[in-house]
Amino acid sequence: MDFPDSYRLWADSHVFYQPGPRRVGDGDFMAAKLAAWDHRMFHDTPNGSLLTGNSLFDLLRSGQKVPLLHVTHALDQIIDRGVLYPSGGCLVGSVYCTPLTRDGDAYRMHNLGSYVLTREAVLAEENGHALNRPTPLIIEVELPRSAYRGVVGVDYLRLGEIHLHIYQHLEYLLARDERHRLRDTIIGRVRNAMPFLGACVTRCVQEVATDPRMFLDWLSDTVDHLPILGYLYFEALSEYLMLHSTGDRAGHAKAHGEFDNWLYKQLLFDTFPGMAGKFDLARFQPTTTGLAAKLATIDPTIDMGHLAEYLADRLALLVCARLLHPAMYTADWTRLRWEFDELRPFVAPLLGHLIHRELRTFGRYPDFYFYFDQYKALQAWNYWNHMDIVLPFNATMPKGEIGVNPAYPALRTTVHRAELTGAGTLVPAERLDVTIAPRLIDLRYTLMRARPDTLTAAR
């Protein structure tokens, strides 16, 4: 892949937060739609002001040392090697962290970090997906003068074309019959899901209203064909809950400049308890009936009717904006030629997401999948260094997921093992002789997706 093409794709996958409305070019239909949603989310929701003014952004704009929380189940291996490796996932190739705020000699955790440490990691252990108890680490990052002081994050839902381009570079690691079988599998998934994709175009582009609950249940069924829809569903639902909850916990979080992350986390693990420690949003496909029942017990301030209408409109938009090309908006899908290269002008981002997902279990590729993500991480690190981004964050929503760019040339960090106090704060217990290295760890060895039979090799 030539540099300008790679650079463009990575620039398009990032969100640059800046004052004022989203820039929209003449005739840019989808950008205008997205800008209208930005306005709606900011002005017409109880917690919309947190989209631009929050503690995460304050941290990124600071010129000081930035304290972060990282939770690990592999402390012994990290100490033995003296190295902390980044992981893939929503932060592509960085060390997954959450913000900390200094409170005297201790640190107050962001509510996302407190959930990961005190709830999610415990659930993972109970599920048998962790051999060692979770340990909190305090990573203090000293931002050099060269660091970008703006607010920019990566939106993993925009990585579809990047996944497709990387596969095209590496596809000959598969045998000829494997390549054909993979393409046939992907084509079959798209073909079976095309009626639902057409419904998304009808709802978003043609603005034809349909029953929102029927739409969401249809989406839930279609996750079996298009696993990426589970990710979109989860992110859109999390977005709604963070923006609209007016419960006591949400109010407390807002007072600290944070969205309430406990609500969607609790919903996720109450609905899919086995996902703790084996995080797989391709299995996230709740029905509207199940969703309503769970939300009634978790947060009665949520109006299910309003939520269903919001989610149907939002997900139709995200499908069109993140998975389809504009050519698909006016195409007659019943006349498409079902060949891989013929579909690219219409659904290239979707093809990339499907390939990225399929390779985890396809033929000999599970052994190679790590290198696919490593190749992607190299491109991300190259872009981040070009932009002087030290601390990338998950920009689907500024919920508190922040990473450390392990390849930044002037990176200076200190790492401490921490202890949880009775007051719920963290205090540094001992400084560790540990550095952060730009080498990706296999996702199977991380807290989110650990398997007991692989933890002994974890870093």
Instruction: Tell me which residue of 393, 318, 439 sits closest to 148, measured CA to CA.
Output: 393
pLDDT score recorded for residue 449:
47
Indicate the residue type of 232.
L
- Sequence-distant (6+) residues with CB within 8 A of 272 are 283, 284
pLDDT score recorded for residue 149:
85
Name the band, by pLDDT with cuts 50, 70 and 90, for residue 4: very low
- Return the half-sphere exposure (C-beta side, CA atoms, 13 A cut-off) of residue 92: 32
Name the band, by pLDDT with cuts 50, 70 and 90, for residue 396: very high
- Kindly tell me if the per-residue pLDDT of 453 is higher than 60: no
Question: Which is it for strands 435-436 and 83-84: parallel, antiparallel or unpaired?
Answer: parallel
Q: Are 69 and 404 in contact (CB under 8 A)?
A: no
Residue 38: count other Cβ atoms within 10 Å of its Cβ: 15
How far is the C-alpha of 451 from the C-alpha of 459, rounded, in Å? 13
How far is the C-alpha of 138 from the C-alpha of 402, rounded, in Å? 13
Q: Where are the domains of the chain?
A: 177-367
How far is the C-alpha of 380 from the C-alpha of 205, rounded, in Å? 32
Q: Are 295 and 320 in contact (CB under 8 A)?
A: no
pLDDT tens digits for range 327-369? 999 999 999 999 999 999 999 999 999 999 998 877 666 677 7
pLDDT score recorded for residue 19:
66
The whole model's pTM is what?
Answer: 0.92
- pLDDT more than 70, % of the chain: 92
Q: Are 113 and 415 in contact (CB under 8 A)?
A: no
> How many residues can be counted in the chain?
459
How far is the C-alpha of 323 from the C-alpha of 351, rounded, in Å? 8
Q: Are 69 and 136 in contact (CB under 8 A)?
A: yes
- Once rounded to an integer, what is the mean pLDDT over residues 79-100? 94
- Kindly tell me if the per-residue pLDDT of 452 is higher than 70: no
- Once rounded to an integer, what is the mean pLDDT over residues 421-445? 87
pLDDT tens digits for range 259-314? 999 999 999 998 888 887 777 899 999 999 999 999 999 998 899 999 999 999 99
What does the block give as tokens for 115? 């959930």
How far is the C-alpha of 357 from the C-alpha of 94, rounded, in Å? 20
pLDDT score recorded for residue 23:
55
pLDDT score recorded for residue 22:
56
3-state secondary structure the chain: CCHHHHHHHHHHCEEEECCCCCCCCCCCHHHHHHHHHHHHHHHCCCCHHHHCCCHHHHHHHCCCEEEEEEEECCHHHHHHHCEECCECHHHCCEEEEEEEEEECCEEEECHHHHHHHHHHHHHHHHCCCCCCCCEEEEEEEECCCCCCCCEEEECHHHCHHHHHHHHHHHHHHCCHHHHHHHHHHHHHHHHHHHHHHHHHHHHHCCCCCCCHHHHHHHHHHHCCCCCHHHHHHHHHHHHHHHHHCCCHHHHHHHHCCCCCCHHHHHHHHHHCHHHCCCCCHHHCCCCHHHHHHHHHHHCCCCCHHHHHHHHHHHHHHHHHHHHCCHHHHCCCHHHCCCCHHHHHHHHHHHHHHHHHHHCCCCCCHHHCHHHHHHHHHHHHHHHHHHHCCCCCEECCCCCCCEEECCCCCCCEEEEEEEEECCCCCEEEEEEECCEECCCCCCHHHCCCCCCCCCHHHCC
- Once rounded to an integer, what is the mean pLDDT over residues 310-331? 96
Name the band, by pLDDT with cuts 50, 70 and 90, for residue 455: very low
pLDDT tens digits for range 29-69? 899 999 999 999 999 999 999 999 999 999 998 878 999 99
| Cα-based torsion angle of the residue sequence 378, 382, 385, 387 in order, rounded to the nearest 10 degrees | -130
How far is the C-alpha of 351 from the C-alpha of 57, rounded, in Å? 33
326 against 20, higher pLDDT: 326
Name the band, by pLDDT with cuts 50, 70 and 90, for residue 131: low
How far is the C-alpha of 173 from the C-alpha of 100, rounded, in Å? 43
- pLDDT more than 90, % of the chain: 74
Instruction: Tell me which residue of 291, 353, 283, 313 sits closest to 212, measured CA to CA.
Output: 313
Name the band, by pLDDT with cuts 50, 70 and 90, for residue 20: low
How far is the C-alpha of 355 from the C-alpha of 12, rounded, in Å? 20
